[in-house]
Every structure is written in structure tokens, then in C-alpha cells.
Amino acid sequence: MIVVRRALVVALMLGAFASPAGAATTTKTTTTKAATPSAAGFDVTGAGFGHGVGMSQYGAAGFALHGYTYGEILSHYYSETTLGDVSPKRTVTVLLHQGAATFSGASAIAGSPTKKLNPKLNYGVIPHGSELRIITGGRTVGTFAAPVTVRGKGSGPLTLVGQGAYDGAFVFRPNNTGGVMTVNSVPLDSYVRGVITAEMPASWPMQALEAQAVAARTYAITAAAVAADFDVYDNTQSQMYRGISSESPTGNAAVAATSGKVVEYEGRPVVTYFFASSGGYTESLQNVWSGLAPEPWLHGVPDPYDDSYGNPYYRWTDDYSLASAGRKLHNLYRGSLEGIKVTQTGVSPRVVRALVVGTDGASAVTGTKLQRLFGTRSTYMSFTTLTAQGERIIKTTIKTTVKTKTTKPPAKTTTRTTTSVPTVTTPTTPATTTDTTPITDTTPTTTPTTDTTPTTTTTTTTTTSLQRANAKPARRVTKKVATHLYVQGTVYPAARSLSVTAQRDVDGHWRPVGRARLTTKGTYAIPVKVPGTYRILYQGLDGPNVKVP
């Protein structure tokens, strides 16, 4: 039987028209931020103590420790100068006090030989119109035309009660506030003895003390007179002077060893400014006091030994909040204070000019004004604003994948045809027979047998369902949550090549946890691993503490 199977062909044709299974994926990311309030610090970093012009006292001590003589020390700080001589007995007048005056130790009033004073008694001086009255024990000694000068017996010292003992004479004048001006008129070297160890420790090397003695002597005779009635103040407005009470054996020895010696430029004494500490480099005169012309012996020079004797002023930092710094600078910027940018320095890093920068405007200012506003030790300074903030960023990513089912083709009719073939039976004739019956004509030799079942063709029709499947597509959702912690903020002003370091407070100890370079705008962001208290380090400065949530 032969069967033709067209169903297989049809099935293959159906497969050729079927749509393959597919998948569509969508991804959605959301970001949630939580930040702590920003903290802002303002640091003034500086070096040295004093105006920076002339001789550094710590530097001079360092030179002496390295074997330099006082002449070599002076010629280093006062360029192209030599040593000259003046009379050690020439007079210097020093303002000691303004107000009520009480003295002792005096035995005479100049110009009044009949009026004797007892050195053991205290005397008061009070104004009386344009004159002065001297009193003691409730009685008047006398009324005298100003000025009134009193001296001790012989070379004995005088005492200004409440202040100290001094060589020379006291000169009293009425002042413009209704009180009394007390001036010490004293020989030059006696004055220097009262200056030297008020300005420099007596324990420092002798060569440093000798350099100090010469500088103090020269300054006293070259500084322009402060007023018509006196030459110098007894404080840092000129140089420190404490009279006999500040003398020491080493200081007196240094004065004696240099008696009458002064610093000269081109054969004449010149002003010899000095100060405590340079921070490593002195400064030229015109860069500190605007309006003064440059002087060849007063230009900035390296000061390699200024860090001697554990100099506490060699490097220093003053910390402020940005808000408190803003209050000090309140009329110099507009908007919110960003910081201070130095625009001009001298031969040293001392500030000559700078900009006070706000979000809405900036103002130019001198270094000496900034020193006055912040009360810093010198104009050798820089300014840094550090801001910091802790931030938590949560990123949630949802990935959705939808799988679609196979789309079926349109319905078709499949016909299957089966053909039946008639069965033909052929009689069997044996080759040999043993039957003896004679064959007669009426008995046919062969009797054909014919199958009378007709040939039939059967067609089977199968109908296939053709509508699209209505089942819901398969859906898979993947959710991923990532948490990122940062310390971020700004540095002003800053260089892009510099970096900041984040530290975390671990049981009271700061541990470094990351570093980042600054952007061109001075911003930074440092990833950290856990919440906690952090701070930023930048160029040796500590930023404000912040919490990372």
C-alpha cells in the first residue's frame, strides 16, 4: 500500500511562516541624595613675626651659632654697609609715660638750685595751668615753668613709680589731655643697655647680642624724632626699652664691646630696622611701607637660620570659620565671602596686595591692612577657604525584561488522499493431479475469480486553529540598589594639580581614607566606605569636621 503524506510538507510550511519568540528590556535608574550641612573654614597661614625689614633677631642668633661675627651678621641684613663710630654719651629722649607721674630717687630740680629733693621720698607731678606743680606728703614743693627736669644724686638712677628705674634724668611736660608727659633723657649707651635684653634674650650668643646692640644704637640716632619733645617710644613703636630693670651682664658686656659702633652706608649712619623673625626671607622697605622710597641697604635677603632656637614664629596658622572671617572683612566684599586671593607679593612671600573675593564682587586691599584686620604676626601669609560636606547617594536600577510568545500563521486546510487498489485472485493449477475422473468439456479448465470491490479515494480535511495566542507575556524584573558615600567640597584659591586627603575619625584618631585632585574650579569629591566623622587635609591645613550620613 502506498500512502502519500502531505501533512509533513504542510507542517514545514507552517513553520516557515511562524514568528520567532522575542524579548524587550527596559532599564530605569533613580537617584536619591542626602547631604549634611556644608561646613566652611578659613585659614591664615603665615611665617615670621614683625615687619620683615632689616635684621631678623632669630636669624641673627642662628648666624651667631654658625660662627658669624656681629659685623658679618650686620652686613648680611644691611647690605653694603660698614661700621662707624658715634659718641656713646650723646643724649636720647624716650617717652616713658602719659598721665599722672610719681617719681623717686631725685635730688635736684634743674634750674632751681634752692629747691632740694629727698631721693628717698616719692614726689608727684600735676599740671597747674601751663606750669607743673611738684608735691609730696600732701604739701607743695613748688610750682615750675614747663618743662621740669629732675636728676638723681651723682649718677644715681631715678624711679618712675609703677614702671621702673632709669639712668639719666626725667623731663616732665603737660600733655594735651590734662595729664603729664614723662620723658627719660639718657646717654646713648645707657639707653642701649636698657634696650638690648628687652629685645633679645640675654642667653643668646654674644655675637647676636653685639649685633643687636649696634642695631639698637644706630636706630636710636637715625630714626626720625617721633615728636618735638622726644625721639623714640619705649615700646615696639620704636624699640623696647625697660631701663635698668632690663639690663643683664651679657647685655651690658655686648654694649661695652661695641661702644659707640653704628651701621653706616656710604659713610653715614642709616636707619637699622629690626624685628623678631623673618620666616626665612626678609623684605624690601618699599614693599612693607608704601610711600617710602627703596633703600639699598634695606632690601630683602635670604635668612637661612631664622628657625634657630625653636623659633615659635617661624611658621604659624590662625583658624577661623568663614563666617567670622567675613565679619572681619565685612566692608571689603559683596555677596557671600569666598576667600582672599593674593595678587602681589614682595621679594619674599609677604603680601603687598590682595583681592577680598565675594560671590557678587571683590575689593583690592594691602597686605598691611589685612595684617591689621586679622591681627597676624606678619604680612608673610596666605589665605585658604576650605568647605566640606558629607553626602549619601542611593542609585536604584530596575531592569524589566518582557518575553513575547510565537505568533501563529493564518488557518489552512490540509487534504489527505488515500488510494485503494482492487485485489485480484489468480486460480492455482497444480502441476500434477491424481484425480482419475475424466475431464469433460463442461468443466472449465480455469475459473477466473474477480474482486468486485471498487477502487475508492478518501480525502481527509484537517482544520488548524489560526488565532494569535492571548496568554500574557512572561515578565522578569531585576532591582539593584547601590549606595555611594562622599566627602565633597571646595578649596579657594587652589591649583588644579594639588590634591586633598580625606580622614576619618576612628576612636579619636584621624585615619586617611582617600585622596582626590582638585578640579580647575577648586572642587573635590572623595568616595568613602562607611558613615562617620570626616575632615579634609590640604597643604597641611585641617578642614572643618563633617558627618557623612
Say how far apart CA 92 and CA 90 lie, in whole Å. Answer: 7
Q: Which of 37-46, 428-437, 497-506, 533-542 has the lowest mean pLDDT?
A: 428-437
- In this prediction, residue 92 carries a pLDDT of 97
Mean pLDDT throughout 416-433? 43
Higher pLDDT, 396 or 436: 396
Cα separations (Å) of 196 from 221, 306, 308?
15, 19, 19
Mean pLDDT throughout 421-438? 41
Mean pLDDT throughout 197-213? 97
Residue with cell 624711679: 159
CA-CA-CA-CA torsion sign (293, 298, 303, 309): negative
Amino acid 150 reads V
Say how far apart CA 103 and CA 97 lie, in whole Å. Answer: 12
Closest CA to 523 of 536, 510, 541: 536
100 phi and psi, to 5 degrees? -60, 140
Higher pLDDT, 1 or 278: 278
Amino acid 44 reads V
On the question of pLDDT at 74 being above 70, the answer is yes
What confidence tens digit (pLDDT) does each residue in 81-125 have? 999 999 999 999 999 999 999 999 999 999 998 889 999 999 999
Mean pLDDT of the chain: 87
On the question of pLDDT at 485 being above 50, the answer is yes
When pLDDT is cut at 50, 70 and 90, the band that residue 405 belongs to is low
Mean pLDDT throughout 382-405? 91
Under 8 Å between Cβ of 121 and 141:
no
On the question of pLDDT at 447 being above 50, the answer is no
Distance of CA 391 to the CA centre of its chain: 21
Say how far apart CA 67 and CA 276 lie, in whole Å. Answer: 20
When pLDDT is cut at 50, 70 and 90, the band that residue 225 belongs to is confident
Say how far apart CA 432 and CA 422 lie, in whole Å. Answer: 31
Closest CA to 276 of 58, 45, 76: 58
Higher pLDDT, 420 or 134: 134
- In this prediction, residue 306 carries a pLDDT of 98
Q: Which residues contact 317 (CB under 8 A, 6 or more apart)?
A: 43, 44, 45, 46, 541
Say how far apart CA 406 and CA 21 lie, in whole Å. Answer: 5
- 107 φ/ψ sector (left φ>0, alpha ψ -120 to 50, else beta): alpha
Mean pLDDT throughout 233-239? 95
* C-alpha cell read off for 158: 631715678
On the question of pLDDT at 538 being above 90, the answer is yes
On the question of pLDDT at 351 being above 70, the answer is yes
pTM comes to 0.77
- In this prediction, residue 258 carries a pLDDT of 98
Closest CA to 102 of 180, 160, 143: 160
Cα separations (Å) of 544 from 42, 507, 547?
9, 18, 10
Q: Which stretches does DSSP call E strand in 252-350?
A: 261-265, 268-269, 274-275, 316-321, 337-345
- In this prediction, residue 518 carries a pLDDT of 95
Cα separations (Å) of 119 from 70, 105, 185?
40, 4, 18
Say how far apart CA 119 and CA 368 lie, in whole Å. Answer: 47
- In this prediction, residue 406 carries a pLDDT of 56
Higher pLDDT, 414 or 243: 243
Q: What is the 3-state secondary structure (H, E, C) of 153-183?
A: CCCCCEEECCCEEECCEEEEEECCCCCEEEE
When pLDDT is cut at 50, 70 and 90, the band that residue 451 belongs to is very low
Q: Which residues contact 518 (CB under 8 A, 6 or more apart)?
A: 491, 494, 495, 496, 497, 498, 499, 500, 524
Exposed, middle or buried, 233 (CB in 10 Å: 0-12/13-18/19+)? Answer: middle
- In this prediction, residue 243 carries a pLDDT of 97
What confidence tens digit (pLDDT) does each residue in 12-24 have? 444 444 445 567 8
* C-alpha cell read off for 454: 471498487
* C-alpha cell read off for 429: 493449477
Closest CA to 154 of 136, 165, 167, 163: 167
When pLDDT is cut at 50, 70 and 90, the band that residue 8 belongs to is very low
Q: At 207, which helix (H) or strand (E)?
A: helix 206-222
Which of 173-177, 241-245, 422-426 has the highest average model confidence (pLDDT)? Answer: 241-245
Under 8 Å between Cβ of 232 and 216:
no
On the question of pLDDT at 259 being above 60, the answer is yes
What share of the chain in percent tops pLDDT 90? 75
Beta bridge partners of residue 6, listed in sequence order: none
- In this prediction, residue 499 carries a pLDDT of 94
Number of residues written out for the chain = 549
- In this prediction, residue 117 carries a pLDDT of 95
Higher pLDDT, 156 or 389: 389
